[in-house]
Amino acid sequence: MSRLTKNDDVCISCHRCEAICAWVHDIVFNPRRGRVIVDLDYPDEHNIRICIQCGRCADACPMEAIYEDYTIVTTGERGIFILDEDKCTGCGKCIEACPTEVLQYYPDRKMPRKCDFCQGQPMCVKYCPTNAIGWVLG
């Protein structure tokens, strides 16, 4: 059972996790397009928002565009929830259902961004200089 972890206390808000995520998925270095979000509330307070793969987005999707893939098993022996872009209509129900508010809407693609744990090799973890984001293998 693998999962992402976060430690807000050591985050330096460099936004590398967001930038590398955008690069891996969209081939653009734009932190605003990452599937990881780092909020800077105050100069010394950071809040990392990550997908916890809870499946609420899949439950909310009327088009069944988000499905569970068991290639990588996560906490609770669940799979990773993957967005099938061909089925997505961009209705936003998954975004409304996301408890961590990490699902964001792509205006240019008319659909949300959905974390897929980089298929078990999360780049946000690999490139985080302070280990604020971790990958626990189960």
- Specify the pTM: 0.86
Q: Which residues contact 44 (CB under 8 A, 6 or more apart)?
A: none
Q: Domain coordinates of the chain in residue numbers? A: 3-131
Work out the pLDDT band at 35, boundaries 50, 70, 90. Answer: very high
User: Which residue has 């998954």 as its token pair?
Assistant: 94
**DSSP state letters, 41-103:** EETTEEEEE-----SHHHHH-TT--EEEETTS-BGGG--EEEE-TTT-----HHHHH-TT---
Rounded CA gap, 124 and 55, in Å?
21
Instruction: Over range 17-27, report the average pLDDT.
Output: 94
**Domain 3-131 class, CATH top level:** alpha beta
pLDDT tens-place string over residues 60-92:
999 999 999 888 766 667 788 999 999 999 999
Helix (H) / strand (E) containing 5:
strand 3-6
pLDDT tens-place string over residues 107-135:
888 899 999 989 888 999 999 999 999 99
Q: Do strands 3-6 and 37-42 pair parallel, antiparallel, or not at all (unpaired)?
A: unpaired
